[in-house]
Amino acid sequence: MKDIFQPRSEPAKSIYEAFQIEAAMRNDRSLDEWQLAERNAVQREAAMQAHKLGLRVPTMEQVERAERYAFGSIDYGCKWALGVVNAMRQN
């Protein structure tokens, strides 16, 4: 089944995919463990994409801010990835 929330362009697509891979492992982890793992995966992928595309590497604070902004949205993962990309494109 196609994921209608998956971003179609980079770097948001790769960041979203990194989040989805970690989110699939939530059942095997405590709340604190999966939150930390997802944030780390998003920040790590964002850093790799930033180097590849010549963008700023977002800080963990920026990753967490984007996550809080997306929280509660039906398109949470997409909104989170796009928020991280916005931080990456800031001067």
DSSP for 44-66, written as a single string: HHHHHHHHHHT-PPPPHHHHHHH
Mean pLDDT value of segment 69-73: 95
Side-chain-side CA neighbours of residue 54 (13 Å) = 0
Q: Which of the four pLDDT bands, split at 50, 70 and 90, describes residue 2?
A: confident
**Is residue 8 over pLDDT 90?**
yes
**Residue 64, number of CB atoms within 10 A of its CB:** 15
CA–CA–CA angle 54, 56, 58 (5° rounding): 140
Q: What is the pTM of this model?
A: 0.94
Model pLDDT for residues 13-68, shown as the tens digit of each residue: 999 999 999 999 999 999 999 999 999 999 999 999 999 999 999 999 999 999 99
Examine the pLDDT at 11 and tell me if it is beyond 80.
Answer: yes
